[in-house]
Structure 1
Amino acid sequence: MTHKSKVAIIGSGNIGTDLMFKIMRLSDTLEMSVLVGVDPESDGLKRAQRLGVATTADGIDGLVALPQFKDISVVFDATSAGAHAKHDAILRAHGKQIIDLTPAAIGPYTIPSVNGEANLDEPNVNMVTCGGQATIPIVAAINRVAPVIYGEIVASIASKSAGPGTRANIDEFTETTSQAIERVGGARRGKAIIVLNPAEPPLIMRDTVYCLTGEADPAAIEASILEMVATVQSYVPGYRLKQKVQFERVGDNAKLRIPEMDDEFSGLKVSVFLEVEGAAHYLPAYAGNLDIMTSAALRTAEAIVRRRQDRAAA
């Protein structure tokens, strides 16, 4: 049996708690060691204690003080962009590899289905945002067939699935996702919008991707998108197209104005509509935004550990 690597999660809110359950239920590579919070009454810490996981309500300092800390190889940060800078400095000083689930973007952007193998040796990898994890694979799928001139995404999530950390990071969400659309997705220009939908009952996460490209074969683009959807589904089973990919040709006689680029466009407009249903490991299935984020972080951590094990065995 392969030896499991011990991990810790900083952040006992929605994302951190969901990730804890995924590690414990799904991973044959990672062992859940410590859950870190700042509120001793948080639901996440109480659940961890009932499951026999070590906890601390003293934040990063409490984690470092625990005897388990020396054996931890990977630390997930599921707090906020503002807190992550301090966590990063402390964890690097102790030689811990960090997977950042905040929009802090200190480390390189990582989307498992697009560049999942590229950053495994980095001391800190950034998982972008839930909207980025859902939509950037589609931008990249289109871009590998026809260069994307402009990519715009709209992520709509249930208000109940957005905890304090998510709400505090709305500006960072849009900035980080927009940059990752360009750097990972390959778009010349990217734009991101997030909507917290207060509907009752809560709606499943929906994502819309609009890409403007030069002239290209729609069938080839659709095939690339379908291939990418299948790749994401390998680690996020609830990820799916909501309807067929839509194509619209924009002629030179009726060009689109792109204000963000101060330019006009003619060519092919590709519209993709996605739905992400969560696995309900912690919050209900409508919280697909949590599921895709924690699933991507889990997939990345497992790849990091497997690479280490392969090198040790070589």
Structure 2
Amino acid sequence: MNKTETLDALPEGIARAAQILGAQGLVAFPTETVYGLGGDARSDLAVARIFDAKARPRFNPLIVHVPDLNAARAFALFDAQAEAVAAAFWPGPLTLVLPLRVDAGLSPLVTADLDSVAIRVPAHPVAQALLRAFGGPLAAPSANPSGRVSPTRAAHVLEGLTGRIAAVLDGGACAVGVESTILGLLGAPALLRPGGVSLERLEALLGPLAMSGNPERPNAPGQLESHYAPAASVRLNAETANPGEVRLGFGAGVADLNLSPSADLIEAAANLFHMLREADHLAGQGGRISIAAIPENGLGRAINDRLRRAAAPRGLIHAG
């Protein structure tokens, strides 16, 4: 593939990105959560290119991005409960897993041949402009090699995928910083992945939610046990750093990098993937990262979910 283009998030750049997508090419673009790797969700070739660029397992389904609820109804079946949830949280960092319409016209690679589809309406103005310029649904997992740290800046995308995708649309840093919450609505509502919409907000609308998800046969992204991983080994809930470790802090205390010196979970979520990358660079080959404890509430659930999966491949060590 030719060199990956970097496009400014201006009308000319958005028009060029839409042109590439129309030719079944791949374009990374910003959402409020992380950068997504977009391809035409109706095209087997475009979706196959996403899996190839990311080296992503084919059994792991993709999220379909559309500009509004009316567009989503063309691909998924919405009952009254789904309509109410969409009205409350879209556009925004919430993905719904819903029954797939028989006439949806999506590539079966998007849904991993399941009879359900993961779909969301992003709030980011650049994502909205691109979806409307393209005029169709975009399959868009995070724009990084599969299993590695997700990208929240255009430079992160280029670090992992340069030369493997046609272009990246540079819309600056992502505000939320962790992926969308995924809510299953195939029966009783179930939280499939914590993310940018907190469990508390969902339960205020829906009542208590069960946690669900199957890493062996996922029906939505983000359920694999090993995911979001830096190259360095990771130690969680560490009160202090051991000799030779790069310290990623939260709140007061000595640290090489700090997710939020004021212990603000919103700030920590926005900084998470960028600082994981920075800590990985500081640690170097064979290095180690120790991470301070993060509260298990609000956005803290999403942060801890990503950290546990990031640590999983190397035999997670808990301190405390």
Shared fold by TM > 0.5?
no
| Structure of larger gyration radius | 1
Q: Which has the higher contact order (CA 8 A, sep 6+)?
A: 2
Q: Which has the higher strand share?
A: 1
- Per the normalisation by structure 2, the TM-score is 0.30
Q: Which has the higher helix share?
A: 1
- Per the normalisation by structure 1, the TM-score is 0.30
